[in-house]
Structure 1
Amino acid sequence: MTITFIPLSLPATADAPKLARFGREVRGADPGNLNPEQFIEIRQALYEHDVLLFRDVTITPEQQYALTKFFDPESQTYGHGQNKTESNQKSILHPDLKTIPRVPQVQVIGNGTVYNHEGLAQAKLKHPSHATFHKTQISPKDEANGVTRFYRWHIDAALYDLSPPRVTTLYGVTVPRGSPQVCRYDDDTGDELPVPLGTTAFVSGKTMFDILPPELKSLAVRTKVKYAPHPYVWMAPARALPTGLGIESEGLELPLKELPPWEEARRKILPVLWKNPGTGQLHFQVHPCGAIELFVDALPEGAKREGALFPDGAHVTDLKEVRDLLYRMQRPAISPNLVYPHDWHEKDLVLFHNRGVLHSVVGALSEDQVRVFHQCNLAASDDPAGPSVEDVHNWA
């Protein structure tokens, strides 16, 4: 059977021309039983479209792990490590992850209590809520009327020791239905986005770079990000911005000396822009919550200096300045017209290019709204490639 790729149904809020290449529904292939030729076609489609959707499929945890591993055969460890950050009570990820015992690379995430599920006698799941992470909160009255927020825009990655996964696979086992909600940005822009209940929101890292003005393109192509050691433990006491795009600079992060043991050599320094292996295009890929320093290269010889930021290069160590610069570059791409909020149905399998998109949990669920998803991503066998010398000359 021929595989076909159908454009995703975009919400009315979307800027359709800007999202014309983003996302495809895959038909004519069983994701749990791909042959090598089909996988090559699927892999290239993922790199070209960033998000792939398989509707109404049945896939076991073993098959989901195998599919995820196809993208990086040398990988085998869950993206946050086999003991993950679940084992560290201080980690902000601790409540979110439950491991399937026989396939430890696959996690159970969701909401409510489930019993006798894939070897778990009982698992209490908690849908992440902005109320536990943002500095400010939606009023109970507004929340009762369906107002919500993005929880945290991020890349699936440990950002310490382990390399960012190439792909994440997310399978909807049990999906509660309910009234749509309105995601409010609460950043004085008036921006709002209608969303399905419990959506996962995606934005394109390529678009994030493409829409930048020249001076910020130049900065992005010359910059690397240094992440905090054990960033999810480091950030846990801090509180996020109302857009979920980074953290308030209030000095609440855990001091580095109070973190679990860490080594400087294992800290991650990654380019701001990651090169897509299938298209050669550049994607702005920064997890703003974990960033702690920026390294900016000087402009290449012959580049225009007028209006350039840090033309002679810089090492930015002031945490507020780091965050403000990243926010300035990333915020335009999460505008309502550039967000794809996926409307989940049971037996949806979504593959997303974890080195090409940012995503966020959205919404609020009550305790009786049981939601069960299987998630798999694997720490990659290499770090993402950054801009080439030619890219720097083209954009700096």
Structure 2
Amino acid sequence: MTIELAPITLPATVSGTDFDPDFGREVKGMNPGELTPEQFKEIETALYTHGILLFRDVALTPEQQYALTKAFDPESESYGHGNNKTQSTKKSVLHPDLKTIPRVPQVQLIGNGMVYNHEGLESAALKHPSHTTFHKTRVSAEDEALGITRFYRWHIDAALYDYNPPRATTLYSITVPEGGRQTVRYSDDDDPSGETLSVPLGTTAFVSGKKMFQILPPELKSLAVRTSVRYAPHPYVWMAPARAKSDGLGIVNEGLELPLNELPEWEQLKIKTLPILWKNPVTGELHFQVHPCGAQELIVKPLPLGAFREGALYPDGEHIKDLGKVRELLHLMQRPGIAPGLVYPHDWKERDLVLFHNRGLLHTVVGAFKPDQVRAFHQCNLAASDVPTGPTEQDIIAWA
């Protein structure tokens, strides 16, 4: 039976003229835990074409969720950060956020509040990530009471050290608390845009990496297509003492990162250097895929022979090691792509399964819960068996 795809419901905040019409589809009349091989191939093509697939009101065991995620990369095996690794690295910014399902260590329990007798866990104290613990500045208590909040951290799901970025992530909602809407405030001293975005309580927000690249001016497209990012070793430990920008898109440059000699033991060969742009395996389009918080260096290739040089940035190439400049350039390129009209904030219902192309989108946790608001989700992504494919020589010639 052919799968049935319908456009996802977009909020009124989405800009109809700028938003990608191919973004997001709802899959109807199909159990994602019991796909035939033929149905899965359709799902795989649809995911890479549309970025997000939504299944409403489905029953999915941790074993089925792991099997579905693994089908995108049959050679993958461990959770994207390594099985049980985040809980053993107590200095990591991810440490409080994840609890492993004991019998399926590739599936994580995330959410908020106390959860009891859950899939082999007698009890779990879940903590919804909050900008109040990671941002340079925070929303005032008075504004927070009025529902003002922030994006937490725009990212891709990836360890960015040793393990390759997962191809796909599955998020399955089990318990979703009710509550009023919140308003994301972008601005602070480091972002005077004045932009805001109305979102459902506890939304997960997504933006298209394809759109992030498409809307860049020519000189920044040229820079992006020629540049790779070198991430810090153990980046989530390295970044832990630092503080993020108010829009959740990268770190304020204050020199607070953990010195490399104080990190857990690391190896040069396990440091990840990845292209800024990742090539879609179905459409062939380029997606801007950078986790700005973990980036440490930029490596820029020179313009190809015969390319137009006037106005080009770093026409002869450059290895940029100044962390402030690295962050400035990445924010300049990525910030337009998280404008309110380009953000899809998913309105979670219980038993939603959201499957997203982790090599084509950026996403973030949003908002804040009260301690007694219980939220429980299962998350699965698997460290890939390959590295993302970057721009071809033809791509570089076309965009440089």
Q: Normalising by structure 2, report the TM-score.
A: 0.98
Shift of 1:368: 0.5
1:36 lines up with 2:5 in the alignment: no
State how far apart, in whole Å, the 2-side matches of 1:245 and 1:119 are: 36
Partner of 1:136: 137
- For residues 9 and 211 of structure 1, what CA distance do their matches in structure 2 show? 23
SS of 2:88's equivalent in the other structure is: coil
2:284 equivalent among 280, 284, 296: 280
User: In structure 1, what is the Cα distance between the partners aligned to 2:133 and 2:150?
Assistant: 12
- Cα distance, 1:84 vs. partner? 2.0
Match of 1:342 among 340, 343, 346: 346
Q: 1:248 aligns with which of 241, 245, 252?
A: 252
Q: SS where residue 182 of structure 1 aligns?
A: strand
What's the CA shift for 1:19? 2.5
1:106 is paired with a residue whose SS is strand
For 2:217 and 2:20, the matched residues in 1 are separated by 19
In structure 2, the gaps of 5 or more residues are none
1:287-298 pair list within 5 angstroms: 287-298=291-302
Which residue number corresponds to residue 119 of structure 1?
Answer: 120
What amino acid maps onto 1:118 in structure 2?
E
Aligned AA for 1:158? A
- CA RMSD for the aligned pairs? 0.6
Structure 1 residues without counterparts, runs of 5 or longer: none
Q: Distance in 1 between matches of 2:326 and 2:152?
A: 21
> Helix, strand or coil for the counterpart of 1:65?
helix
Shift of 1:2: 3.4
Residue 375 of structure 2 is aligned to residue 374 of structure 1 = no
Output the amino acid matched with 2:359. R
Q: C-alpha deviations, 1:322-357, integer Å up to 9, x for none? A: 000000000000000000000000000000000000
- Matched residue pairs, number? 396
Partner of 1:11: 11
Distance in 2, Cα, partners of 1:81 & 1:114: 24
Partners of 2:43 and 2:390 in 1: CA distance: 24
In structure 2, the partner of 1:51 is 52
For 2:205 and 2:92, the matched residues in 1 are separated by: 23
Paired residues of 1:225 and 1:293 also in contact (CA < 8 A): yes
Question: Identity rate of aligned residues, in percent?
Answer: 71
AA in 1 matched with 2:352: D
Matched with 1:258 is 262
Measure the CA separation in 1 of the matches of 2:158 and 2:114: 26
Cross-structure match for 2:111: 110
Q: Secondary structure at the match of 1:328?
A: helix
Corresponding position of 2:171: 170
- Partner residue, 1:303: 307
State whether residues 227 and 293 of structure 1, in contact with CA within 8 Å, keep that contact through their aligned partners in structure 2. yes
Q: Which amino acid aligns with 1:244?
A: G
Deviation at 1:88, TM superposition (A): 1.0
> Which aligned runs of 4 or more in structure 1 are off by greater than 3 angstroms?
none
TM-score after normalising by structure 1: 0.99
**Pairwise mapping of residues 321-332 of structure 1 onto structure 2 (< 5 A)?**
321-332=325-336
Decide whether the 8 Å contact of 1:274 with 1:386 is kept in 2.
yes
Q: Using the alignment, how far apart are the partners of 2:250 and 2:213 within structure 1?
A: 18
Residue 113 of structure 2 aligns to which amino acid in structure 1?
G
Which residue identity is paired with 1:46? L
